Chain A
């Protein structure tokens, strides 16, 4: 989802500063050389202000996506059809929480506090992936999220394991290692319904695929010619593969999986193009994408409301734990 952050940066961010001191120019030249060399940047290293800002924005939006992504799936934990599926879903949702924490920690190394990051989410200043603003209406949605949404996320995230900012890259390595189970469990649960299910269950899977397909391929962000911040991010090694290339890769990988599953993808223009060696696809409704990113998706208000309420309801626990910790540490300090 995660490259959306750069595409929604907007113009208010401005570009790199035009006026620089001689010293800064020298530092920047050294920084650029390191990037060109395929080197990594660590938290305490000098970096251009705009590089830092871009990363805080992308990593925190990625973190917010993991945390908000717990909501649509958490919705089905109590209604999972078997104990096995419930245990799997709980493990997956717990993973998403863990992924959010790895990413918040990586964002914090850039000098922004956790409270600032969360405040930006809660006040609507920071975005999260547009995909989580769609509702999970049936149990099949949970399988389809694993297969398509996590599949698209993996496609997006694997290249970020080589991001030039090392704390982000390290978090991504850990996340990608865990994420593969997310996609496989989703596909596995759909396979059970398609192979052993009733006609109604098969129709439910097809319906879920129909609703999630387009939002899933929108996850890669707008087309390359409408992605103004991509060039700079490519230059800095924050982004490695373009939106359209990743989207193509995802579609090519997904088509044969849909065939094995026995579902159709809701795009009449989807067909193999032997000349290109890729699948062609129909036009994507970017107006819908921008509407959902802009706050007017089916569940934007509900998701944000749930996050803010969880934060407010937990305030007394956070304060009590801190007060307890301070009290415990006082006698120690006094005797030292």
Chain B
């Protein structure tokens, strides 16, 4: 339902500080990448929430289908042996 005159939509990812991942924090409209970066700074980092910003055109993101959620993710539900807590060890070596 986007009209011709509307600026394209961008998804914004912010790295809160060096060493951490970029994390999705929202979206905004901007005519091009350069302005999207500029606006992302004004909209999402007014209180030094970031040290780096990525912007990605929203239509470039491919997502899993929410309708497939159960079929897609449930097979991992019964594989508890993939977690370290599944294995009960003697207390003397349990820090391993």
Find chain A residues with CB under 8 A from B46 CB: 91, 94-95, 98, 178
Find chain B residues with CB under 8 A from A102 CB: 26, 43
Q: Does A44 make an interface contact (CB < 8 A)?
A: yes
Q: How far is the CA of A328 from the CA of B35 in the complex (A)?
A: 13
Given that A113-B1, A115-B3, A321-B7 are contacting pairs, would A105 and B66 also be in contact in the complex, using a CB cutoff of 8 Å? no
In B57-77, which residues have CB < 8 Å from any A CB?
63, 65-66
Contact B63 A44 (CB under 8 A): yes
Q: How far is the CA of A322 from the CA of B6 in the complex (A)?
A: 8
Q: Does A123 make an interface contact (CB < 8 A)?
A: no
Whole-angstrom distance between the Cβ of A89 and the nearest chain B Cβ: 15
We find that the number of chain B residues with CB closer than 8 angstroms to chain A is 21
Given that A102-B26, A105-B27, A113-B3 are contacting pairs, would A325 and B66 also be in contact in the complex, using a CB cutoff of 8 Å? no
Given that A113-B6, A325-B32 are contacting pairs, would A101 and B43 also be in contact in the complex, using a CB cutoff of 8 Å? yes
Chain A contact residues: over half helix, strand or loop, or mixed? helix
Chain B contact residues: over half helix, strand or loop, or mixed? loop
Find chain A residues with CB under 8 A from B5 CB: 115, 318-319, 322
Whole-angstrom distance between the Cβ of A59 and the nearest chain B Cβ: 14
Chain B proximity mask over A101-123: 1 for CB below 8 Å, otherwise 0: 11001001001111110000000
Whole-angstrom distance between the Cβ of B4 and the nearest chain A Cβ: 9
Q: Does A24 make an interface contact (CB < 8 A)?
A: no
Contact A325 B26 (CB under 8 A): no
In A131-180, which residues have CB < 8 Å from any B CB?
170-171, 174, 178
Find chain B residues with CB under 8 A from A111 CB: 1
Whole-angstrom distance between the Cβ of B12 and the nearest chain A Cβ: 10
Q: Does B28 make an interface contact (CB < 8 A)?
A: yes
Whole-angstrom distance between the Cβ of B2 and the nearest chain A Cβ: 5
Find chain A residues with CB under 8 A from B35 CB: 321, 325
In A40-56, which residues have CB < 8 Å from any B CB?
42, 44-45
Whole-angstrom distance between the Cβ of B61 and the nearest chain A Cβ: 12
Smallest Cβ-Cβ distance to B24: which chain A residue? A170
Contact B63 A318 (CB under 8 A): no
Whole-angstrom distance between the Cβ of B58 and the nearest chain A Cβ: 10
Q: How far is the CA of A201 from the CA of B46 in the complex (A)?
A: 33
Contact B3 A325 (CB under 8 A): no
Whole-angstrom distance between the Cβ of A304 and the nearest chain B Cβ: 21
Given that A44-B63, A98-B42 are contacting pairs, would A321 and B1 also be in contact in the complex, using a CB cutoff of 8 Å? no
Chain B contact residues, CB within 8 Å of chain A:
1-3, 5-7, 9, 26-29, 31-32, 35, 42-43, 46-47, 63, 65-66
